[in-house]
Amino acid sequence: MQARAEFSYYPGCSVEGMNKAYDKSARVVCEALSIDLAELNDWNCCGASAYMSIRELRAHLLSARNLALAEKEKKDLVVVCPACLTTLAKTNHYLKEDSGFKRTISAALKAADLQYMGSVKVRHLIEIIVNEVGEQEIKAKVKRKLSGLKVAPYYGCQLTRPFGEIDDKEFPTMFDKLLQWIGAQPVNFPLKAKCCGGLLMMTNEDVGLELNRTLLNCAAENGAECLGTLCPLCHMNLETYQDSVNKKFGTDYKIPTLYFTQLLGLAFGYSRKILGINEELIPSQQITEKYAKVV
């Protein structure tokens, strides 16, 4: 198979920390699909919401440094975290739309002998897999079909909002399609793009737990046996706080939560360990083994 375009890979701080399994499984899946990911050398934090909340211009500078580093490599930037996607893309937009802003950022970058001409596109991995690799190739790679596994595809907020360049802003479908290609069954999930609260779980736990209860309830009511995620922060909230939701609301959710890359990896025949599935708090062995059919 011919190798695809090469990308600079921007893991982001979260998958370097508590959500390493996302990074592991993303790399495994990309290798399987001949997506050449070279980690962006010496990348820094994108300046996402907590930073931008109190330092706007500096947050954009953080993003701009990453964009400048990627431009040096002459590659587009691939991210796995939707918050990084939105922050980096926002900086890219402002640089195109506002010449005064561009002058300030360019002058700041120059202090470190960096420059950014605006040629880098920031893309989320799921979009590359769905749009560039596509149905045929994904289906051809499937070794263990996840036949009938009912997954609630959870997109969260920032994959498609605010820009909506890759899918519908309110009712995206690309993850649903991907699940079908590997034999799984995406359930109807009306809250698929509703907010999990992000960092509110830390700063206002009552509200954070309420938002997650609503999501878990919606997934369960629609018959989901598993939640599929594509954002490390959503994943953290939905997966590691299910016991707290249960405690607060007297519920009994134990819905296994897996990254889209882990689901793909399972279908491609990789072991749970290599995909970091053993690092999750909620056991998923039962469902993934029940449905995996060797093709």
Partner 1 sequence: MPELQADRTERSLADVFLEDIYSIPGGEKIKECIQCGTCSASCPTSYAMDYTPREVIAALRAGILDRVLKSNTIWLCASCYYCTVRCPSGVKLTDVMYELKRLAVEFGLADEKAKAPVVSKLFVDLVDKNGRISEVELVSKFLLKTNPFAAIGMMPRAWKLLVRGRMPLVPHRIKGISELEKCASTISEVSGLHAGTGKIEKAT
User: Applying CB under 8 A, which residues contact partner 1?
Assistant: 13-14, 16-21, 42-45, 47, 49-58, 60-62, 65, 86, 93-94, 97-98, 100-101, 104, 107-109, 111-114, 157-158, 161-162, 164, 169-170, 194-195, 197-200, 202-204, 206-207, 211, 240, 243, 278-281
| Shorter beta-carbon distance to partner 1: residue 51 or 249 | 51
Using only C-alpha atoms, what is the Rg of the chain?
19
Joined tokens for residue 261: 């890359």
**Closer Cβ to partner 1, 76 or 205, answer by number:** 205
Nearer to partner 1, 5 or 202 (CB): 202
Cβ 222 to partner 1 shortest distance, Å: 19
Instruction: Identify which of residues 19 and 133 has a Cβ nearer to partner 1 in the complex.
Output: 19
Q: 242 exposed, middle or buried (CB, 10 Å; 0-12, 13-18, 19+)?
A: buried
Cβ at position 107, least distance to partner 1 in Å: 6
Q: In the numeric block, which tokens belong to residue 167?
A: 């899918």
Alpha helices, DSSP H, located in the chain: 13-16, 20-32, 49-52, 56-72, 82-97, 99-110, 125-127, 134-141, 174-181, 200-203, 205-221, 232-240, 242-249, 260-267, 285-291
Choose between 166 and 199: whose C-beta lies nearer to partner 1: 199
39: which strand partners? Answer: 9
Nearer to partner 1, 43 or 270 (CB): 43
Smallest Cα–Cα separation from 90: which of 98, 128, 78?
98
Residues 267, 143 contacting (CB under 8 angstroms): yes
- Pick between residue 143 and residue 194 the one whose CB is nearest to partner 1: 194
Residues across the chain: 295
| Smallest separation, CB 21 to partner 1 (Å) | 8
The one-character DSSP state at 55 is -
Q: Partners of 226 in the beta sheet?
A: 151
Is there a contact between 211 and 234 (Cβ–Cβ < 8 Å)?
no
- Of 18 and 220, which CB lies nearer to partner 1 in the complex structure? 18
**Spatial CB neighbours of 190, under 8 Å, sequence gap ≥ 6:** 218
**What's the closest the beta carbon of residue 242 comes to partner 1, in angstroms?**
11
Torsion 24-89-209-200 (CA) sign: positive
Q: How far is the CB of 270 from partner 1 (least distance, A)?
A: 18
Bond before 232 cis per omega within 30 degrees: no
